[in-house]
Amino acid sequence: MARIPGGSFLMGTADLSGFPDDGEGPVREVRLNTFLMDRHAVTNARFRDFVRDTHYRTEAEMFGWSYVFRLLVPPYLRRELQGRGETVLGLEWWYRVHGANWRHPYGPQSNIRNSPDLPVVHISHRDARAYCDWTGARLPTEAEWECAARGGLVQKTYAWGDELTPGGRHCCNIWQGTFPDINTAEDGYVGPAPVFTFEPNGYGLYNMAGNVWEWCHDWWSATHHQTGPRDNPTGPAESTGRRVMKGGSYLCHHSYCNRYRVAARTSNTPDSSTGNLGFRCVRDVAEDVA
């Protein structure tokens, strides 16, 4: 884990080129206690250790299916699913694949045998919290996640600065090409990348942009943070039916969802699982706010 120093930071953005309706702004000063955060998303190997020790079953396993991006679905299965209408209306690039789960990320014929260092996916909020409980950790609050992602930089667009590809160098795993049909994979990946891919940010954290979305503790609200607490905020006190996700994924593209920006945010229902959704953990430390 990396130590994230306590103190104040500027959260949010005043940039209106993103998704203002998501509640990305306003910029506000937030104070946090020092905490520790996983340097990378939880991997297939680590989640497998958890399951072997606890015999835990994920929600995708109990439901019997999860969502897989169409280019990652095997062609034979893609044709079958198209014929049965197993897509999401308006988001037809998502296929409802029976047998898809953390063990079988692209469908029942796939496995994680050769991908121990990929981030575990098809993880619901409940699944992530169960893993955290096993390790004695917890999910980060949205404020903690954003502070950590900034890596000590002040009001930069990305975890490494204001330029997406400085000097032509790719700093994260997102979509290149024409979404959702053509991914030129100029960053080297069509799907998830190993968790240590790309340079870490200023706090030594990997893939705080792109690769896979990461669950946060907070219930979702687009307005609560405008009037809510600014010291160690934890989001709305009562359920809003959705939980915050941060960081974007390998499917994000400037034409569709440029939520790989540090201040960007979105949400999903806690029982949701997809092939681009994972998590990392944090721990408290016995130290006062600086």
Residue 289 lies in a domain: no
Angle, helix 44-54 to helix 125-135, in steps of 10 degrees: 80
Q: What is the pLDDT of residue 226?
A: 87
Counting the structural domains of the chain, the total is 1
- 203 pLDDT exceeds 50? yes
Residue 290 lies in a domain: no
Residues 171, 158 contacting (CB under 8 angstroms):
yes
Residue 133 lies in a domain: yes
- 189 pLDDT exceeds 60? yes
DSSP-assigned letters across all residues of 78-144: HHHHHHHT-EETTEEEEEEEET-SSSSBTBTT--STT-TTSBP-S--HHHHHHHHHHHT-BPPPHHH
Peptide bond into 229 cis (omega under 30): no
**List of residues 6+ apart from 112 with CB closer than 8 A:** 44, 48, 102, 103, 104, 105, 118
CATH of the domain at 212: 3.90.1580.10
Q: What is the pLDDT of residue 287?
A: 59
Domain that holds residue 151: 2-284
Q: Which of 85, 120, 288, 93 is nearest to 215 (CA)?
A: 120
The counts of H helices and E strands in the chain are 6, 14
**List of residues 6+ apart from 32 with CB closer than 8 A:** 4, 6, 7, 8, 9, 143, 144, 147, 232, 289
- What does the block give as tokens for 159? 């975890």
Residue 245 lies in a domain: yes
- Taking phi over 0 as left and psi of -120 to 50 as alpha, with beta for the rest, 235 belongs to left
CB atoms within 10 A of CB 209: 26
Residue 53 lies in a domain: yes
Give the separation between CA 40 and CA 281, rounded to whole angstroms: 9
Q: What does the pLDDT average to over 179-194? A: 97
When the pLDDT of each residue in the chain is averaged and rounded to a whole number, the result is 95
Parallel/antiparallel/unpaired status of strands 35-37 and 2-4: antiparallel
Radius of gyration of the chain from its Cα atoms, rounded to whole angstroms: 18
- For a pLDDT cut of 90, what percent of the chain falls above it? 89
Highest-confidence range of 35-39, 87-91, 227-231, by mean pLDDT? Answer: 35-39
- 49 pLDDT exceeds 80? yes
Q: Which residues are registered as beta bridge partners of 119?
A: 43
Q: What is the pLDDT of residues 121-154, one digit of tens each?
A: 999 999 999 999 999 999 999 999 999 999 999 9
Residue 258, exposed/middle/buried by CB under 10 A (0-12, 13-18, 19+)?
middle
Q: Which of 162, 171, 216, 206 is nearest to 189 (CA)?
A: 171
Q: What does the pLDDT average to over 240-260? A: 96
- What does the block give as tokens for 155? 């009001």
Q: What is the pLDDT of residue 290?
A: 45
Give the predicted TM-score (pTM) of the model: 0.96
